Amino acid sequence: MPLTIEVKGIKAYGKHGVYADEKKEEQLFLIDVKAILRDTSRARDNIEEDLLEETINYEKIVESVIELVKEESFNLIETLALKIVDVLKNPKLQEILVTVHKPNTILNQKTEDISVTASEEF
């Protein structure tokens, strides 16, 4: 059975959205990453050696997500989610799922959460 790494609620600030105000002021995005490691006997043996280089470094996931959200600007959070998937691709992964939450939208008074999930299997 493959191992699953989840990093939830990465706090990243960026300028994403279709409205002019969203492009001017940074806003908060919360990103969840679910990374499913390839389940091979070699991978399992190496992880049992308790070595960081044999798995996915959570710190690098967080840093990569924060950097992309800050440095790029997209109209759609759908595009942002797909770009995060691309940045986090790794040969150690079997699948990756990325959910981008946009907590501050014009629909705040009518919705609890707006999010998009993108995934890819390798």
Domains of the chain: 4-121 (3.30.1130.10)
Q: Which amino acid is at 54?
A: E
In this structure, how many other beta carbons lie within 10 angstroms of the beta carbon of residue 61?
22
| Digit-coded pLDDT (tens) for 18-46 | 999 999 999 999 999 999 998 766 667 76
Active site residue 102: yes
Q: What is the pLDDT of residue 49?
A: 79
Query: Of 24, 83, 102, 110, which is the active-site residue?
Result: 102
More reliable by pLDDT, 120 or 42: 120
Quote helix, strand, coil % in the chain, to nearest 5. Answer: 35, 30, 35
Q: Which amino acid is at 16?
A: H
Largest CA distance in the chain: 52
- Which residues, 6+ apart, have CB-to-CB distance to 67 below 8 Å? none
The mean of the pLDDT values for the chain is: 93
Do the Cβ atoms of 55 and 47 come closer than 8 Å? yes
